[in-house]
Chains A and B, each alone.
Chain A
Amino acid sequence: MEVLFLQLFNGISVSSILLLIALGLAITFGLMNVINMAHGELIMIGAYSTYVTQNIFMDLFPESMFGWYFVLAIPVSFLIAFVIGLILEFTLIRFLYGRPLDSLLATWGVALVLQQLARTIFGAPNVGVTSPSWLNGGLTVLDGVVFPYKRLFIIALVAVTLFIMYLYIYRSNAGRRMRAVMQNRDMAACLGVSTRRVDALTFAIGSGIAGIAGCALTLLGPIGPSLGTYYIVDAFMVVVLGGVGKLIGTVFGALGIGVTSTVFEFWTTASLGKVLVFVCIVAFLQWRPRGLVAMRTRQLDS
């Protein structure tokens, strides 16, 4: 019984992490159709931003303030990843719209450059981020069932991020312009929307959300130059399974993969569990190639 509770929680927790790393990609890949292989490195940039924020807090502020660095690290990670995404869009991505294979190769190259850059600046070994003391420990639900605060925090963070994204995309003027451009670029341009600006902003927002993911992952995982490579495959898997182009699909994709992988991992082993999850995804995509939530479109050729 306790195990059931714990595993249910673990499943939701894994889903929330998957969702967080996939949200940014749901925009850059899902909406903009850029196969962004550098997404993992934007996560890495978020993680290193958190590390730098922590170090600045250690040096400049009294020790009693240290616990609050993490609250500041979230917007800082977002902003830094946002700016780097903006630069990336301006110098490279904007030349590659509508050429998915080229964008795959180019962004993969960017990923390698960013990894090596991190290695040169921060050194090859992992760096340590001390998580704030208010996130240590956990909530004891039953005897022997502990929900760690960090995982609860990540679930909450994902919920908030998702809600803000929803408001932005579906309830704001900027979001409406964004959807218009992504659905029919020429028509939007005719109606006076500056597609160039919308593209840049959209890509930068996707990058910034990757930065938030990186910040949150410092609580649970390693912080090193190759951090991004661990998450990139999972992120693409979630977006593809969920259905390209729909935010809600990404949510279901993350939930599906997260829960099934914890179940399989518990019944079998970690390696076999991963294989089984992949088999399920392949089988599912054979059945419904568009993913869980298919985008309705009037285009004939897509």
Chain B
Amino acid sequence: MRKRVWSSVLLLVLSLSLILAGCGSNNGGTAPASSGAETASGTSSSGSSDNGSEIKVGILHSLSGTMAISEKSVHDAELMAIEEINAKGGVLGKKLVPVIEDGASDWPTFAEKARKLISEDKVATVFGGWTSASRKAMLPVFEEMNGLLWYPVQYEGLESSPNIFYTGATTNQQIVPAVTWLLENRGKKCYLLGSDYVFPRTANKIIKEQLKAEGGELAGEEYTPLGHTDYSTIISKIQQADPDVVFNTLNGDSNVAFFKQLRDAGITAQDMTTLSVSVAEEEIRGIGADVLEGHLAAWNYYQTTDTPENKTFVENYKAKYGADRVTADPIEAGYTAVYLWAAAVEKAGSTDIAAVKEAAKGLEWSAPEGKVTIDGENQHIYKPVRIGEVQADGQFKELWSTGEAVKPDPYLKGYDWAASLSSGR
């Protein structure tokens, strides 16, 4: 009896893995993604990353678990950038070989895989991370082993590691200008709604100081656990507070529930402005453009951003991954990160981390979002800021932009009202 049980369990596992493998090869567009890990371990000959005719680079995103929703696309864009660079002859005449690891939406796994990429695979650099928690988990590893990480997502600021380049926006390139714009254009009474973790709490601390300094009024502040799916009570609280603006820092799937239920409660974008900082083109597809129409978001890049570089970027991305895919801010930032690193290596003439960091200072590149420059001091990049309105087709219409790129200021030193924040860290 025992034996029969085990053999049938084994059969089940085998058949399921067969199904999985079959599906994997059907989606053949992402060939390097599915086979990348194997080829990488297969070719892991000894020595450092730029021995021979190859340079190994690490890609570390969540390909499974809750965060896979967002991180998979960034991973795709980074692979596309690597392929494009290889097609043009590689870096320093050598081909880039991606070593792909799965962070599995689990922060200790991110740290462990980062350590593996640096010590075992001896990669020249790593592109990866999404949540602040994953970055904070990887940071000590990169500092201890003197690795190099390119982090592609907007975050809460107040950080500047010598071993990390930040290609997403810091607060003064997204949240601070957005709040100023809202206060000038949409009203003074502001309600803060966010998921209960590092980013929204820090962001709202900054926003509250800014509201005080710029004459805004705090109508209420509410945090919900990650993955919260019922917003009926929160919505009636918001209705009671009757704010002009809801500043939304909810993350992930909670956005879907919040916006669907907001619409059902009979509140449209005409009745109340909401501005989100974690809702981009990808998320709109999951929420439904009809539900989100008219709501606002602040980013540095939209798929509709009008630059010649963006036109080719969007075309190539769709050609590679399917016409129904969309590009979004973090996807563009991941793509930009690979190119910036490659340019810095070319300029330095080696993949040595100290040399690359030195070469990266003041480096410029025409990204899809416009011209970006690496700030030598804090290793963030200059980025233009844009506020967009969701249209019926699920794309953004740009309402306002800073035009030129804004200097990154992760500790908000340029703002008097923020003095207590950076010192009280």
Contacts and interface: CB of A to CB of B under 8 A. Distances in A.
B228 A270 contact: yes
A6 B68 contact: no
Contacts of A214: none
Given A91-B12, A221-B229, A223-B286, A124 B72 contact: yes
A125 B20 contact: no
B285 interface: yes
Q: Contact residue range for chain B? A: 35 or more
A51 B69 CA distance: 17
B286 A224 contact: yes
Interface stretch (A27-35, A65-73, A113-121, A193-201): A113-121
Interface in B36-75: 63-66, 68-70, 72-73
B25 to A, nearest CB: 10
Please classify the interface of chain B as helix (H, G, I), strand (E, B), loop, or mixed, using the class held by over half of its residues.
helix
Nearest to B264: A148
A216 to B, nearest CB: 13
A10 B109 CA distance: 39
Interface in B55-108: 63-66, 68-70, 72-73
Contacts of B24: 120
Interface string A197-227: 0000000000000000000000111111111
B266 A95 contact: no
A138 B265 contact: yes
B256 A126 contact: yes
A266 B8 CA distance: 51
B363 to A, nearest CB: 32
Given A125-B73, A146-B265, A229-B66, A95 B5 contact: yes
Contact of A126 (B23, B229, B286): B286
B287 A13 contact: no
Contact of B68 (A91, A119, A150, A219): A119
A246 interface: no
B264 A95 contact: no
B283 A124 contact: no
Given A7-B233, A92-B9, A266-B233, A222 B20 contact: no
A222 B286 contact: yes
Interface string B18-33: 0110011001000000
B112 interface: no
A108 to B, nearest CB: 14
B288 A221 contact: no
A60 interface: no
Given A127-B285, A128-B288, A226-B66, A220 B260 contact: yes
A248 to B, nearest CB: 24
A220 B69 contact: no
B229 A130 contact: no
A126 B283 contact: yes
A95 B8 contact: yes
Interface in A101-147: 106, 113, 115-117, 119-121, 123-131, 136-138, 144, 146
A17 interface: yes
Given A117-B19, A124-B69, A3 B229 contact: no
Given A222-B257, A270-B225, A271-B196, A130 B288 contact: yes
A3 B69 contact: no
A39 to B, nearest CB: 16
A13 B232 contact: yes
A138 B266 contact: yes
Interface string A86-107: 0000011001000000000010
A92 B23 contact: no
B146 interface: no
A95 to B, nearest CB: 5
A230 interface: yes
A212 B224 CA distance: 27
Contact of B69 (A17, A125, A229): A125
Given A91-B8, A224-B286, A10 B20 contact: no
Chain A CB within 10 Å, residue with most, of B229, B230, B263, B266: B230
17 contacts: A7-B236, A14-B230, A92-B9, A106-B9, A117-B19, A117-B23, A124-B63, A126-B283, A130-B290, A138-B264, A138-B266, A150-B264, A220-B261, A225-B68, A262-B233, A270-B196, A270-B222
Interface of B: 5, 8-9, 12, 16, 19-20, 23-24, 27, 63-66, 68-70, 72-73, 196, 222-225, 227-230, 232-234, 236-237, 239-240, 253, 256-257, 260-261, 263-266, 282-283, 285-290
Interface of A: 3, 6-7, 10, 13-14, 17, 91-92, 95, 106, 113, 115-117, 119-121, 123-131, 136-138, 144, 146, 148-151, 219-227, 229-231, 262, 265-266, 269-271, 274
